[in-house]
Amino acid sequence: MRNIPETEADDVVGRIQWKRFAALSVPGVALTAALGVALSSGALAASFAVSGQQFKVSADRLTGEGFAQYGGIDTNAREELLPVAITAISKAELHNLCQSVVTTLPIVGDISLNLTAGKKKPVEATGLFVDATQLSGDAGFHNIEIGRDASTLDKGPEGAQGMQDLFGQQADDVTITDLKQVAWATNAGTFKLSGLNMKITKGKKECF
């Protein structure tokens, strides 16, 4: 067996270590680059840091014009990444809207904030973006396109596009009855809540 000089052995070890380092670092570099591209393309909903609490929203019926949906990522104040399904609607009306969030405080316990609106006249929103982790209801669409590249969506409000090569869907309009969703954030160009009523109560009281 050939004796390897000390300097040559160091070089061999060095080469092996660098190869291993490169193999391990490539996925991290690729992920960082992908997130950078996502931020620049608007796929990350990074307009503000979301809170550490998700909230619930329900409505008897939602009707909307210009519907788009695609995947995205929210960030919180700790800069943690939170995957979401972004639903974007150019113009929406929500009948009998309910929004709730429960906060647990030391000693006090659970505190619930409940907001209701739109019982007589529907809530109106334009440029609506909802970053949700759960959505259910009975939905109907007109001229829906499922599986379209998220970067080419063009039926929703301005900016309603995701990353290239990722899944997206869109439709001329949408109707969802018995809407229930859990979300990290909501953005809207305008948001008009008729018959607004907000209450804070002790204990857990949620929309669903």
What does the pLDDT look like over 167-206, one tens digit per residue? 999 999 999 999 999 999 999 999 999 999 999 999 999 9
User: What is the rounded distance in angstroms from the CA atom of residue 179 to the CA atom of residue 176?
Assistant: 6
Asked if the model's pLDDT at residue 89 lies above 80, the reply is yes
154-157-159 Cα angle (round to 5): 75
Q: Which two tokens stand for residue 31?
A: 């992920």
Asked whether the beta carbons of 123 and 194 are under 8 A apart, the reply is: yes
Return the pLDDT at 18. 44
When pLDDT is averaged across residues 86-107 and rounded to a whole number, the result is 96
In 3D space, the residue among 51, 91, 73 whose CA is nearest the CA of residue 133 turns out to be 73
In eight-state DSSP terms, residue 50 is: B
Return the pLDDT at 39. 47
When pLDDT is averaged across residues 153-166 and rounded to a whole number, the result is 95
Asked whether the beta carbons of 38 and 165 are under 8 A apart, the reply is: no
Selected residue with higher pLDDT from 84 and 18:
84
Q: Is 156 exposed, middle or buried (0-12, 13-18, 19+ CB in 10 A)?
A: buried
Banded model confidence at residue 132, pLDDT cuts 50, 70, 90: very high
Return the pLDDT at 72. 93
pTM value surpassing 0.85:
no
Return the pLDDT at 159. 93
Percentage above 70 pLDDT, the chain: 78
Asked if the model's pLDDT at residue 29 lies above 70, the reply is no
Banded model confidence at residue 5, pLDDT cuts 50, 70, 90: low
